[in-house]
Amino acid sequence: MFAHDLPFDPTYGYRLDDLLRVPAPLEPNDFREFWLKRREGVRGFKTCPQLGPVTTTANGWNRQTVTFNSTGGWELKGWLITPKEGPIERGFVRLHGYGGQGEPNGLDAQERAATLYPCLRGLPPSTRAGYPDNAGEHVVFNIEDRDQYILGGCVEDAWLSVSALLELFPQVEGHVGLIGGSFGGGIGSLMLPWDERIARAHLQVPTFGNQPLRLLLPCNGSGNAVTQYFRKTGKIPPTLAYFDAASAARHITIPMHVSNALFDPAVPPPGQFAVYNALPGEKSLHVAQAGHFEYPALAEDEQERFRQMTEFFAGL
């Protein structure tokens, strides 16, 4: 599809028709019980968000730093974008990729909405001594223990990001949307089924989909670290079955908009489409030519994705 110098084919030999048939794997019998118990453990948790001074983005939105509490004694950092004027009637939580959460420019903000951009534990700027701050080490941290695996803590962070948003803007209850890309898309899929406060969600090139297949596909993203761990130890950690974004997607019942790529060297497209295919309810799909890759039509693809996403969230 594109000229590249990668040692593997980022389409993995799949055409769109093939991708739309990739299934979710079988899930553990106690998959639902595991996640519901974890969700119950954070109900009532007070995040006590603290806001910094107001600055202004180039396109006229208010921007503030935010810190709030999460489980395990974590203090998470991030940003809040709000309108310069007018009512705040909707709320969004925007989950980041594996590079961490950069300062938002307001270009993806939605009208009449407050958008919280949290940074989940271990990744910049929400770092802490003793915890890895890079994708390769982060994705396998405590992977042998499903209760201590760092991705479980990140899902709790995502739930509590919604809590922080509602503590700041209680009037948006019932009108909360979630946006997550790549790492944030995978975490989004894992957290959505168990959080009734979210009304609609958009996932972009979500990772962690169909973990057994993911282990077989070469990539230059976080999946490579999991594959190397598997090759080194000679066993697949049972934990992975509980952290499969496609398995979780089976349990999502809200309207969903997903943007998946046909070519992606970091998050193999079959895993992305396993997430979309598993969604049982109302859903719509944007197909990008590539993900995690620069190509001539990238700006046009992103413009169309944003147009579709904005139209989708108009119903929020």
Q: Are 124 and 100 spatial neighbours (Cβ–Cβ below 8 Å)? A: yes
What pLDDT score does 3 carry? Answer: 83
Domains of the chain plus CATH, in order, are: 37-101+112-309 (3.40.50.1820)
Confidence of residue 234 (pLDDT cuts 50, 70, 90): confident
Confidence of residue 44 (pLDDT cuts 50, 70, 90): very high
From CA 277, how far away is CA 250, in angstroms rounded? 9
Nearest to 213 by CA among 13, 33, 35, 16: 13
Inform me whether the pLDDT recorded for 236 exceeds 90.
Answer: no
| Tokens 């109900």, residue located | 43
Nearest to 203 by CA among 140, 266, 274: 274
Check: pTM over 0.95? Answer yes or no.
yes
Model pLDDT for residues 161-185, shown as the tens digit of each residue? 999 999 999 999 999 999 999 999 9
Instruction: Please state, rounded to an integer, the average pLDDT across all residues of the chain.
Output: 96
Inform me whether the pLDDT recorded for 1 exceeds 80.
Answer: no
Tokens of 19: 């991708």
Tokens of 255: 């309207």
Model pLDDT for residues 269-281, shown as the tens digit of each residue? 999 999 999 999 9
Q: What is the mean pLDDT of residues 35-42?
A: 98
What pLDDT score does 315 carry? Answer: 87
Q: What is the mean pLDDT of residues 142-156?
A: 97
